[in-house]
Amino acid sequence: MNAAPTPPKAELHVHIEGTLEPEMVFDLARRNGIELPHESVADLRAKYRFSDLQSFLDIYYANMAVLRTEADFRDLAAAYLDRCAEQGVRHAEIFFDPQAHLKRGVPMETVIGGLHSALADSDVSASLILCFLRDESAESAAEALRLAEPFLDRIVGVGLDSAEVGHPPSKFTEVFARARELGLRAVAHAGEEGPPEYVREALDLLGVQRIDHGIRALEDPELVERLRRERIPLTVCPLSNVRLGAFAELSGHTLPALLEHGLLVTVNSDDPAYFGGYVDENFDAVRRELGLSTEQLRELAANSFRAAFLDDRRRDEFL
Ligand code: HPA
Ligand code: ZN
């Protein structure tokens, strides 16, 4: 079920833990001697019916229990990078959720060491973005950043993910300031389920350079104008938005409206093992369901390099 070929592109919004396919959940459980509460791969996959972000996060965090060793994190990232190579993804900026692993007793060096070794061995250009869990405390985020300090040369930036509503960006002003002081780039999920105000906070209080999702920005014309004027990229994840209920059907997705407003939009997979496809399946789906032209698809692919944390010389090589 290969999707139609699409132009070379970058992926800027993918959670490495969200690339954990059900088959790998079972393989790693066996390797680590963990008993799973699922009868089979099919049984686990059948549980991937989500009504909103939280219903997805519950199973996303539960499945992470199989990720224990440096080899587990390496194998996970290597499998994703293999998919990148197959799908014409030339560059990937990959989120990871260290607090979810620290909480289970997996040290930061195991997580970053494993992920980094896969990146170092791959022909695909890739970097790591450490995400803070917004439904955990600001102190917990600060501790995660402190634990990552010995590995800063392996991280390009910080992000903010997990349950959005009730956890505004303002809660993380200090830790983002510290991350920027350390020379890291900054992004944040905002306007996925949360209001446009969270997008403003991410820009004004966290100093982010991209917004992840940002679909609800459309409710606020002044904000849309600002995003356009300041060329703030939005990393949009069409299949994710449908699976988590932001849109009843892909044909109702507002991606075309975002493009018509002149925004710097990119297409991404978010959590491909859970949402029905990697980046090419997302491109293919928006082409089919939203009737995007070849020209628009090419623009989306070019935007992914424009929005990437690449120096100008490398960006020009990709473009
Ligand atoms: N949204 C917020 N947090 C997440 C997601 C998402 O789609 N995936 C993994 N963590
Ligand atoms: Zn995401």
Question: pLDDT tens digits for 45-71?
Answer: 999 999 999 999 999 999 999 999 999
pTM: 0.98
Residues 155-164, mean pLDDT to the nearest whole number: 98
ipTM over the 0.90 cut-off: yes
* CB distance 122 to 114 below 8 Å: no
Q: Does residue 253 have a known ligand-binding role?
A: no
d(CA 167, CA 216): 16
Q: Which domains does the chain have, with CATH numbers?
A: 9-311 (3.20.20.140)
H/E stretch holding 294: helix 294-306
Any catalytic annotation for residue 21?
A: no
Name the closest-CA residue to atom 3, ligand 1.
162
Which residues are near ligand 1 (CB < 6 Å)?
Answer: 15, 18, 53, 60, 161-162, 189, 192, 240, 270-271
How many whole angstroms from 205 Cα to the centroid of ligand 1?
Answer: 21
Question: pLDDT tens digits for 7-37?
Answer: 899 999 999 999 999 999 999 999 999 999 9
Give SS3 for 12. Answer: strand
Q: How confident is the model at residue 3 (pLDDT cuts 50, 70, 90)?
A: very low
pLDDT at 81: 98
| pLDDT(2) > 70 | no
How many whole angstroms from 12 Cα to the centroid of ligand 1?
Answer: 13
pLDDT at 1: 45
Question: Quick one: the chain helix, strand, coil %, rounded to 5?
Answer: 55, 15, 30
Mean pLDDT, the chain, as a whole number?
A: 97
Q: List all residues 6 or more positions away from 177 whose beta carbon is below 8 Å from its beta carbon.
A: 207
Residues 154-163, mean pLDDT to the nearest whole number: 98
d(CA 148, CA 31): 27
Q: Does residue 311 have a known ligand-binding role?
A: no
Report the percentage of the chain scoring pLDDT > 90: 98
Nearest to 72 by CA among 126, 151, 16, 152: 16
Which residues neighbour ligand 2 (ion) by CB within 5 Å?
A: 270
Question: pLDDT tens digits for 236-272?
Answer: 999 999 999 999 999 999 999 999 999 999 999 999 9
**Per-residue tokens: 267:** 């297409």
Task: Determine the length of the chain.
Answer: 319
Q: Does residue 270 have a known ligand-binding role?
A: yes
